[in-house]
Structure 1
Amino acid sequence: MKFNKEDIKKLQLLKQFGQYENDDYKLEEVLSSLKFIQLDSINVISARSQDLVFYSRVKDYKINDYLNLYKNNQASELYLHALSLVPNSSSIMELSHTLKYGILKENNNVDKYLKQFKSYLKSGDTLSNKKENWSLSEKDIVTNALWRAGLLKITRNENFKKNYSLETKKSNTLLMQENILEKIADCLVLISLQNIGLATFSDIKNYFYLKKNEVADSISRLLSSKQLRIAGQFENEDYYILPEDENLIDFTNNINRINCKFLSPFDNSIRERNRLNRIFDFDYKLESYTTPSKRVYGYFALPILIDKEIIGTIDMKINSKEKILDVKQITLKSKEQKIYLSNVVESIDNFKTFTNMEEIVNNENIKYL
């Protein structure tokens, strides 16, 4: 199979955004397609990271609409590379819970932790998960262990606070599974490819921060079972692909022009920064924990995707009291990107509506790299 950098880029965008421009996709369909969405509590622009992921893909999405996935029992939380929202039907959900439940059972802690948790509920404890001196309290240890084992269900309220409930129907038959660690590694490797299309060994390893030997062994197993193929080489590196994606290479030539999107810093399409730099020619990082004087893009700058390119970032903040959307800075890769400014300004106006603000200020503060 012959492909180039442009093919790699277009296939990734097709996998991530498909035909979302024209079709009315539902929340559960987007989550099912992506396999996971990273959760984060930062809300300097009212919309949290998970809201931004859905906003860029779901027509007429409103802030906190994703909470309906909890209410409808369509999604749960799992710790992958970070805290993530995962479809309840996901195999990684079952595999991870199987592993953690098995560890709890082997350590004879299941009954002990369940008894403790029920005592918290009886006492009216809020189970706030507040940490003291950066250490886990006894409550934290109990709730975290039961949650990771799939025995606790978590839902969220509009302030991103947790609500816990017991899952009492855990099946012991799950513990009969063999080679559970290998199955989890295989599942994560497949999810990586489902998200980015054509990928190198390093792309796959870095997507979920897997170990080199885990990826090597997993790729070997998946090649043998024909769940994975070597697509070919580009710039002297092997690229892997899912068999069902091979026919999409030609289809990418017909991909629609992508309207201007403001992406979450944790969006599935850009979460592997080395690949983002290599394929999209954009060296980006979240600078919330960078000293202000050393920031290039801004505190919570969102990458701007338009017409198959990451053209720069936009850093915004809301003043909820005054109902103002403050555009702190627009950073473009070069002056050639000025041709997209009208699209960016239109998207800022749409974002103002999305965040329920009434006025925009400072949207002319433009910086070039």
Structure 2
Amino acid sequence: MAKFYLGNIVILPLFELTQKQASKLALVSQGLNKSNAFGQGVNGVNAAVKHLSYIQIDSISVIQRAHHHCLWSRVKNYQPDFIEQLIAQKQIFEYWSHAAAYLPIQDYRFSLPKKHAIAAGEKHWWEKNPIAEKRVLQRIQQEGPLRAKDFERDNTKKGSGWWDWKPDKVALEQLFIEGELMVVERRGFQKVYDLTERVLPAGIDTTVPSTNEFERHLICSYIRAHGFANAQQISYLRKGLKNNITRTCQGMLENNELQQVTLGDQTYYALPNITDLLKQSVNRNLVNILSPFDNAVIQRKRLSEVFGFDYQIECYVPPTKRQYGYFSLPLLWGTEFVGRMDTKIDRKTQIFHIQNLHLETAKVDEFVEVLQPAIKAFIQFNHGVDIKVHKVTSEQTLGANKEANIVQRLQIL
């Protein structure tokens, strides 16, 4: 790429991305361009978390939970206990990114600004309760790691939701979000808390980053994981950061640490290695069945801008207003999103239900052919032994015979 000079400053020209280049760049950066882009086993999972900077945790369990699903999409021999192994090895830790997440332990110091702000009085969800917090800390100091269920309720009324948590559970979460406690494991889906000083690995950097360091960390982490970004995307769900991120990006641009790229009429920031990333290959026949909370799709506006795929998770939509289903999963074929699939695993019967397979490609037969093995692998990941396809819909006119044929093809494991 040619360089231009303004005095002693090197100016890189704008890199104009085509739609195909943009989607390729995003998928290569996400490790979704080929199988096992980060390697296999526990080491592959560790590499994926480091590169992506976070894996979102979510409690919805109609299929395997989102954090397991996101990692399985990138590490094909993934097992759910790999996360627990990495926590036990002190390679990753649980905290808050834009949402609850698993984070690489080397990024621990970048969790400190939020922890210190909350400890200083900034509200996360609940008001502080010094008496309950003192009681909780004393028990954990004396007894070791504990769960919320290890603390008795202060009355006999059963809680009806997160707003009705008992004081000790609220205290545990408050101390966790302030940084006094860390999660050492999950039993089932319940957090087990211990003192931070007993959890952190020896030699970990606990210096609080400056504002500029923190902003640069967010910028570089996001662009590394997504290929290119604007300030709004980098500051996603981080209140009050957009203007600062914009200012820091401009400074990095002037120092040639970033370059600007365009996609249509939008301008983004990218790292200088963009041409190297675009040289990487994409497996055009690879089908990825993604979680609604996957790093690649969690920002719906970006998903539409880069891939032209308008997506909404409908579990929060009233049943009468759902178009595709309660938990519809994006279907990625090569570099294109070509449909969505509403799924559920019945854990008693081990039947994997496809409530609705909605196809958004003209190449229906070709896609169904490559979708079959992807669904088979996904069913195994969800511990299913049988499959039932309830409905197939399409942007194209299928007809009853065509729909029946697709159902028959997919129900052969």
TM-score, scaled to structure 1: 0.85
For 2:115, the equivalent position in structure 1 comes to 100
Q: Which residue of 2 aligns with 1:36?
A: 54
Following superposition, the deviation at residue 209 of structure 1 comes to 6.4
Residue equivalent to 1:58? 75
Give the drift of 1:208. 5.4
Mapped partners of 1:207, 1:7: distance in 2: 27
**Equivalent position SS for 1:28:** helix
Q: Does the Cα contact within 8 Å between 1:53 and 1:264 map onto a contact in 2? A: yes
Gaps of at least 5 residues in structure 1 are none
CA 155–255 in structure 1, closer or farther in 2 if over 3 Å, else same:
same
The 3 A distance-change label for structure 1 pair 141 and 133 is closer
- The answer to which of 283-292 and 131-140 deviates more is 131-140
1:283 and 1:103, CA in 2 relative to 1: closer, same or farther beyond 3 A?
closer
Q: Deviation string for 1:48-72 (max 9, x for gaps)?
A: 0011111111121123432222122
Report what 1:7 is aligned to: 21
| Equivalent pair of 2:136/2:172 in contact (CA under 8 Å) | yes
- The match for 1:116 is 135
Check 1:143–1:362 CA distance in 2 against 1; reply closer, same or farther (3 A cut): same
Larger Rg: 2
SS, match of residue 228 in structure 2: coil
Q: Does 1:295 align with 2:322?
A: yes
Q: Residues of 1 paired with 2:206 and 2:392: CA distance?
A: 56
1:77 aligns with 2:94: yes
**Deviation of 1:263 (Å):** 0.5
1:61-105 C-alpha deviation (Å, 9 max, x unpaired): 123432222122111112121101101112xx3122255247637
Secondary structure (helix, strand or coil) at the match of 2:106 reads: coil
Letter of the aligned partner of 1:96 in structure 2? S
For residues 22 and 101 of structure 1, what CA distance do their matches in structure 2 show? 37
Provide closer, same or farther for how the CA distance between residues 141 and 325 of structure 1 changes in structure 2, counting only shifts above 3 A.
Answer: closer
Q: Measure the CA separation in 1 of the matches of 2:187 and 2:19.
A: 41
Question: What is the Cα deviation at residue 151 of structure 1?
Answer: 2.6
Question: Residue 179 and residue 133 in structure 1: after superposition, are their counterparts in 2 closer, same or farther (change >3 A)?
Answer: closer
Q: State the AA in 1 paired with 2:59.
A: S
> Equivalent of 2:148, from 121, 127, 132?
127
CA shift in 2, pair 1:101/1:112, >3 Å: farther
The 8 Å contact of residues 132 and 168 in structure 2, kept in 1 or not, is answered as no
Structure 1 residue 14, shift from structure 2 partner: 0.4
Instruction: For 2:131 and 2:256, locate their aligned partners in 1 and report how far apart those are by CA, in whole Å.
Output: 44
Which letter does structure 2 place at the counterpart of 1:188?
Answer: L
The residue type paired with residue 50 of structure 2 is S
Equivalent residue runs for 1:149-160 within 5 Å:
149-160=178-189
Change (3 A) 1:10 1:178: closer
| Equivalent in the alignment of 1:241 | 270
- Say if 1:335 and 1:368, in contact at 8 Å, map to a contact too: no
Q: CA deviation at 1:230?
A: 1.7
Is the CA contact (8 Å cut-off) linking 2:88 and 2:185 kept in structure 1?
A: no
SS in 2 for 1:302: strand
347, 366, 369: which is aligned to 1:339? 366
Partners in 2 of 1:298 and 1:271 — Cα distance? 18
Alpha carbons 2:110, 2:209 under 8 Å: kept:
no
Structure 2 CA distance for aligned equivalents of residues 138 and 270 of structure 1: 36
Matches within 5 A, 1:181-196: 182-196=212-226
Against the structure 1 CA distance between its residues 315 and 177, is the aligned structure 2 distance closer, same or farther, given a 3 Å change threshold? closer
For residues 191-222 of structure 1, the C-alpha deviation after alignment (integer angstroms, 9 at most, x for no partner) is 22122112234443447566432332232233
> What runs of 5+ residues in structure 2 fail to find an aligned partner?
1-14, 123-127, 152-158, 396-413
Is 1:265 paired with 2:292? Answer: yes
Match for residue 146 of structure 1 among 175, 188, 191: 175
The SS at the match of 2:341 is strand
What is the alpha-carbon distance in structure 1 between the residues aligned to residue 27 and residue 327 of structure 2? Answer: 23
In structure 2, do the counterparts of structure 1 residues 248 and 80 end up closer, same or farther at CA, with 3 Å as the change threshold?
A: same
8 Å CA contact 1:258, 1:308 repeated in 2? no
SS at match of 2:363: helix
Q: Is 1:353–2:371 an aligned residue pair?
A: no
Asked if structure 2 preserves the Cα contact closer than 8 Å seen for 1:63 and 1:355, the reply is no
Compute the TM-score of the two structures, normalised by the length of structure 2: 0.77
Q: Which amino acid aligns with 2:195?
A: L
Counterpart residue number, 1:217: 247
Asked if 1:161 corresponds to 2:190, the answer is yes
Contact 1:102 1:175 in 2 (8 A): no
Alpha-carbon shift at residue 302 of structure 1 (Å): 0.9
Q: How big is each residue's C-alpha offset from its partner over 1:217-265, in whole Å with a ceiling of 9 and x where there is no partner?
A: 232233244432223x33233221012334323x04x333351111010
Matched residues in 1 for 2:340 and 2:161: separation? 36
Q: Contact conserved, 2:112 with 2:208, CA < 8 A, in 1?
A: no
